Chains A and B, each alone.
Chain A
Amino acid sequence: MPASMRVTRLLLEPVLAIMLSLVALAVLLAVSGYSVPAALSALWHGAFGSWAVLASGTLVRATPLLFAGLAVAVAFRAGILNIGAEGQLLAGAAAATAVAVTVSPQLGLAGAGLALVAGVAAGGLWAGIAAFLRQQFGVLEVISTIMLNVIMLHLTGLLVRGPLQEPTATFPQSALIDQALRLPRLVPGTRLHAGVVLAVCSALLVWWFLRSTARGFRLRMTGANPRAAASAGGIHVARVATSAFIASGAIAGLGGAVEVTGVTFALYENLSPGYGYTAIAVALLARLNPMAAIGSAVVFGALEAGAAAMQRDAQVPAGMVGVAEACVILVLLASEWIGARAGRISTLFWGGPPPTQHSVTPSAAVDPA
């Protein structure tokens, strides 16, 4: 299959999914009695209306989504259904805040770096709990990570009312991170920070790792068919899966650390508006491809930013956009389902099955046998 056709094939489904979801959103808006043109216009302008909006709104929101989306993609590629990016992101944010409000501001960027490292460690540790339970007792990671999300959310609440609470002990949030320890702004006058560069670099690194390194190869094979990986490749699949799980948590943790040092500058309970959950949609829309996740994160970042504008300018509840986001996942899952049953049609159109690099589906990850 020629490369151009492969790219077309790769893009077709996601674009179709997004368009169908916008149609669903429009129908829902119309049925609910809102002005569809006004609402969609507000959505568009809130996401892409100006450079300032693009930078401060869409890209700032796309950054944690990209980190968390990469975390989900890495885990899913290894056959691990990590639904815990939300909790791992919060763990990273909490640890980074703890470091940033403790170290001397004179450390400057090095201090920010320390905070990011703490976030990576905390995210990995939080995922490590679920990884340990999975390997030692066979606890399903779908269940354990969801529960760990809730635990982390309340742990954050505890931290910002106790040990990490701001000096006046009035508000349930941490002290502000010193100016010197924050990530530098990329574009003056916007909220766009260096974290977005870090996120894109992470995506490229993960993509290269999966594609080109022996460890990445073992991770992919373990996810695609653990029995063959063990029997034909001699791969220690349990060890590979555990490492991938922890690495996944570490990436999400970095996302949380970047969020507190680049955007919020403090820890509080509702730090993440569900970035870790939307990240699953980000990863699926990208078909678990780390490079494609960049574009996918921007799409969802735009939806999140546009939703805020829609609420502000057209008085449409932001929750409506949640419907569109959910539609993206449903359409993608439906196309998987149809694709699995219409292999022959796909062969007719594309001259072969979809390229394997992008065809690792979550359903295949659930049940490799």
Chain B
Amino acid sequence: MVIPSGTNRTVTTAAPRLALTAISRHFGQVTALDGATLTAARGEVHALLGENGAGKSTLMKIAFGLDQPDAGTIDVDGRRSVIRTPRDAMALGIGMVQQHFALVDPMTVVENVALGGIDRFDLAATAARIRRLGAESGLALDPDARVSSLSVGAQQRLEIIKALARNAQVLILDEPTAVLSPTEAKDLLDWTRRFADAGGTVILIAHKLREILRIADRVTVLRRGKTVLTAAASDVTELLLAEAMLGATRTAAPVSQAKAPHASDGQPVLALVNVAAMDDFGVARITNATLTVHGGEIVGIAAIEGAGQRELLRVLAGRLAPSQGTATLPDAVGFVPEDRHRDALVLDATLTENLALRGAARRRGLMPWKTLDDSTQALLRDRDVRAANEHVAVRTLSGGNQQKFVLGRELAATPAALVIENPTRGLDIRATADVHAALRAARDAGTAVVVYSSDLDEVLLLADRVLVVAAGGVRDVGTDRDTVGLAMLDASP
């Protein structure tokens, strides 16, 4: 089927299967997409790359009707299309497998596929269809198995089968390999190749440059909501892609020079030797990590989303037991998790009660409320936390004050070590500066500080030493932004 380009602005002669042109999307003050363009042809595996927050997921959500663009056009097979809902997208032959699966756990494979399908709800026909699709595609699944009994990899195959059962010609996979073991990941990528060779189109959001260059035909790179590179995979190198993602602006690294070099002459406080750690689903995220953090230094952790830093930080904080190896930790490690509402605070409890939470497990007898009230008042004063008094619920505080409160609580007993994850997410400039100052002050007081931020610049700004988490391990590659960026992507220069 060859349709003249018509309104299409691309230079290909045949209309591309899917063309997203000059797409913009704003969330309040934040620009997620700023004229991004992506064109995917029939029979191609198209990789979509970009740093955290570059706009990849937003662009794909727009293609699948989960979000609406503020500006820009979508053409499917050369026809201008408006995709308001995923149902519209499916009708146009677009399917998507999101990072978080949309499956009904207690139901069977066949029920999940039949559910919300375009055809009549017919379990027997759907089961036959699953078997046929499985035989054709190699994505074999037992139609009668319950979803809750399936491995993560099998659940992902089910999501793909769901899309195929609805005649998806374009399949969008949002970081599909992030949840898979290396073998499963290889099988999946090989399958995308076969699917494309049979005339389908795959758009693959991914991070691992090596596997992308092995499998993809073409590559589009987004940076800060703009398309900065579109090329054939054979024309680019890992280095070129990494530079496109991170920005070629070779900053003269004013941030790392600005602070006095901080020699870590302190004692080793945290030590991991050959540690492996699994996530909540039992997938090994860290396979072999060895590192030491000394008192009086800030170690920055740099990693792309899902590289295992979440598990590494929790092992360091004593909140997750390593599945292998040894972790030598002090008695109590201060820990500030990124989701403070869920993991650090009891929002309806008072400030005093939230302060008392620290060490609550070991407390015996009566609660010394008077002393705790005094300590809370002192904390509010010392950390400049704005609250009416210590008896108000934490819920009434602003995000910045909540974070300063949590940080103050975790640092109150001058712990030997502090682990902090995305320390300033959602905070304004002033609160960010306060939190940074508090981390440096803790470092100067001799605490071993480990900080991870999804914003690489923040890591580089704070860290005396940077450790990169990639490929299940930890590497020290210095503090040069480009080198760190490449190491994060596990790319060879």
Q: Which residues of A are in contact with B by a Cβ distance under 8 Å?
A: 212-214, 216-218, 220-221, 224-225, 227-229, 231-236, 352-353, 356, 359-360, 364, 369
Given A233-B360, A235-B360; A224-B344 close (CB under 8 Å): no
Q: Is the CB of A359 within 8 A of B367?
A: no
B-chain residues with CB within 8 Å of residue A232 when the two chains form the complex: 335, 343-345, 357-358, 406, 409
Given A228-B342, A360-B348; A214-B365 close (CB under 8 Å): yes
Q: A320 to B335, alpha carbons, bound, how many Å?
A: 56
- The yes or no answer to B350 lying at the interface (CB within 8 A) is yes
Out of A212, A224, A234, which one reaches B362, CB within 8 Å?
A: A234
- The yes or no answer to B215 lying at the interface (CB within 8 A) is no
- The yes or no answer to B430 lying at the interface (CB within 8 A) is no
Q: Mark B390-409, 1 if CB is under 8 A from A, else 0.
A: 00110110000000001001
Q: Is the CB of A356 within 8 A of B348?
A: yes
Q: Is the CB of A224 within 8 A of B360?
A: no
Q: A132 to B414, alpha carbons, bound, how many Å?
A: 40
A-chain residues with CB within 8 Å of residue B358 when the two chains form the complex: 232-233
Q: Is the CB of B357 within 8 A of A214?
A: no
A-B contact sample (12 more), CB < 8 A, given A234-B361, A352-B388: A212-B369, A218-B361, A220-B353, A224-B349, A225-B345, A228-B343, A232-B344, A233-B360, A233-B361, A234-B359, A359-B348, A360-B348
Given A231-B337, A231-B343; A221-B364 close (CB under 8 Å): no
Q: Is the CB of A353 within 8 A of B395?
A: yes
Can you sample 21 A-B contacts with CB below 8 Å? A212-B367, A214-B363, A214-B364, A214-B367, A217-B363, A221-B353, A221-B357, A221-B360, A224-B346, A224-B348, A224-B349, A225-B346, A228-B342, A228-B344, A229-B360, A232-B345, A232-B357, A232-B406, A234-B362, A353-B396, A369-B342
- The yes or no answer to B356 lying at the interface (CB within 8 A) is yes
Q: Is the CB of A217 within 8 A of B345?
A: no
- The yes or no answer to B319 lying at the interface (CB within 8 A) is yes
Out of B345, B361, B366, B392, which one reaches A212, CB within 8 Å?
A: B366
Given A353-B395, A356-B349, A356-B353; A234-B344 close (CB under 8 Å): no
Out of B343, B367, B392, which one reaches A213, CB within 8 Å?
A: B367
Min distance, Cβ B458 to any Cβ of chain A, angstroms? 23
B-chain residues with CB within 8 Å of residue A234 when the two chains form the complex: 359-362
A-chain residues with CB within 8 Å of residue B349 when the two chains form the complex: 220-221, 224, 356
Q: Is the CB of B342 within 8 A of A217?
A: no
Q: A218 to B356, alpha carbons, bound, how many Å?
A: 10
Q: A352 to B364, alpha carbons, bound, how many Å?
A: 32
By beta carbon, the residue of chain A nearest B357 is: A233
Q: A253 to B369, alpha carbons, bound, how many Å?
A: 32
Out of B343, B364, B388, which one reaches A227, CB within 8 Å?
A: B343
Out of A214, A227, A236, which one reaches B342, CB within 8 Å?
A: A227
- The yes or no answer to B347 lying at the interface (CB within 8 A) is yes
Q: Is the CB of A228 within 8 A of B345?
A: yes
A-chain residues with CB within 8 Å of residue B361 when the two chains form the complex: 218, 233-236
Q: How many residues of B contact A (CB 8 A)?
A: 33
Q: Is the CB of B350 within 8 A of A217?
A: no
**CB neighbors of A among B299-348 (8 A):** 319, 335, 337, 342-348
Closest 9 CB pairs of A and B: A234-B361, A233-B360, A214-B363, A233-B357, A225-B346, A231-B343, A224-B346, A235-B361, A232-B357
Given A221-B349, A352-B388, A356-B393; A228-B363 close (CB under 8 Å): no
B-chain residues with CB within 8 Å of residue A212 when the two chains form the complex: 366-367, 369
Min distance, Cβ A235 to any Cβ of chain B, angstroms? 5
B-chain residues with CB within 8 Å of residue A220 when the two chains form the complex: 349, 353
Q: Is the CB of A217 within 8 A of B367?
A: yes
Q: Is the CB of A352 within 8 A of B392?
A: yes
Out of A233, A235, A356, which one reaches B350, CB within 8 Å?
A: A356
Min distance, Cβ A350 to any Cβ of chain B, angstroms? 12
A-chain residues with CB within 8 Å of residue B337 when the two chains form the complex: 231
B-chain residues with CB within 8 Å of residue A213 when the two chains form the complex: 365-367
Q: A356 to B354, alpha carbons, bound, how many Å?
A: 12
Q: A220 to B365, alpha carbons, bound, how many Å?
A: 15
Most B CB within 10 A of own CB, among A214, A227, A229? A214
Given A213-B365, A352-B392; A231-B344 close (CB under 8 Å): yes
Q: A364 to B357, alpha carbons, bound, how many Å?
A: 19
B-chain residues with CB within 8 Å of residue A216 when the two chains form the complex: 367
Min distance, Cβ B269 to any Cβ of chain A, angstroms? 19
Q: A214 to B369, alpha carbons, bound, how many Å?
A: 10
Q: A347 to B337, alpha carbons, bound, how many Å?
A: 30
Q: Is the CB of B335 within 8 A of A231?
A: yes
Q: A217 to B337, alpha carbons, bound, how many Å?
A: 22
B-chain residues with CB within 8 Å of residue A356 when the two chains form the complex: 348-350, 353, 393
Most A CB within 10 A of own CB, among B319, B357, B406? B357
Q: Is the CB of A221 within 8 A of B367?
A: no
By beta carbon, the residue of chain B nearest A240 is: B361
Q: A360 to B319, alpha carbons, bound, how many Å?
A: 27
Q: Is the CB of A352 within 8 A of B360?
A: no
Min distance, Cβ B362 to any Cβ of chain A, angstroms? 7
A-chain residues with CB within 8 Å of residue B393 when the two chains form the complex: 352-353, 356, 359
Q: Is the CB of A225 within 8 A of B347?
A: yes
By beta carbon, the residue of chain B nearest A234 is: B361
Q: A352 to B387, alpha carbons, bound, how many Å?
A: 12
By beta carbon, the residue of chain A nearest B345 is: A228
Q: A117 to B344, alpha carbons, bound, how many Å?
A: 40
Min distance, Cβ B392 to any Cβ of chain A, angstroms? 6
Q: A218 to B367, alpha carbons, bound, how many Å?
A: 10
Q: A220 to B345, alpha carbons, bound, how many Å?
A: 13
